[in-house]
Structure 1
Amino acid sequence: MKKWVSMMFLLALFVLPMSAYADSASSEDNLTLDEIKAHYEWIFNKYQVNEPFSAEDADFVMKHGKDVGAVFVNKKDDEPHILASGKKSFQGSKDNYAITGYVNYDMATIGKNTWDVYISAWDIAGIKRDITASFGIDCFGVIDVSTGAVGKIYSTTLSQSTQSKASYLDMSKSAGYTGWVISAYYYPKATFDNTTEVTGTFLN
């Protein structure tokens, strides 16, 4: 019971202010959306899993989660709880290459998180290539309930490559994690002939 109360306190402390921060973040810091996204991703690359974020980095991640499209814990009736499930679609193109897909995410059960990912990547001209599709997942959450430390608690990349040159690749993979996630950030992309990278941009 004590552990549950501590968790609810942490969620109230770290999660509930997020919506208020997100609305004012861009004007407050005078950063463009591209700059916000680049710094957001830099922070996650900076730390190992279960390495506590600095106060400054944790504050930035919480402020800008909404700006960069991260899926995070919502609130209902002013009580913090895990309630995040749905579908996010993405697409992207560069030169003669394209990517599209979606992730079905379910973080609606406290402590249990699952992701089902589908990606289609192809050469628009139908030329056969070496194609690799990947989908990265970084989760920000509570590392230590007793100290209130937060950081990257889960990180994985789902990927698939063509076994031989092909004009398209379809990938369907799943991932799961048990832990106290505050927000989840995604990195969809495809690489063609190990030279050209196409990043997926979320539509919702």
Structure 2
Amino acid sequence: MDRCFEGKLAFRPPSPLQQGDKVEFVVRVALSTSPVDPATGLPGTGEPTRRQPPICERMSADLTSSSGVTIERASSELISIPREGAGEWAWHLTAVESGQHEMVLRLLAPDPEGGTITVETFRETITVEIGLMYVVTTWIKEMAPPLQALLGIIVILGGWAIFLFTRRRRRAKHTAKARNGH
């Protein structure tokens, strides 16, 4: 931790989201002595959230979430923080389940003896709203195989019913012709 200094951290909370939304979530960090404002140019809307954690010369970040939001890694984990600039991490978040979900951001520094040291942990609540189109398309995708199977059964039963019906009509015609002497 002797290579860590006062820092600045900024991100725009990705909340609220609608089910099915996929957004980029960027976290920027800078040393407190850097002239760069890490909140400048962050993707998203709304007021950036700012924190003042210790920032180390080399850091990584780990982002996790409850089951309602899936996270894809979109940038490298270990970065060097420039003295006069900023470093950043980015992830793609996809909202899959409505409700309140917690994201946990951990800032990590490499331990000189191996492994990592947790420098700071932040928790952020994300609201995911119901997305009607997402719910409908998900239901259709989930129901497609059973509905296809049911449709196949209906087609087979319908074909069998038509076969039996036409067979009975032919028998009835042949029986009527035989009675009339034709």
TM-score (norm. length: structure 2):
0.36
TM-score (norm. length: structure 1):
0.33
Larger Rg: 2
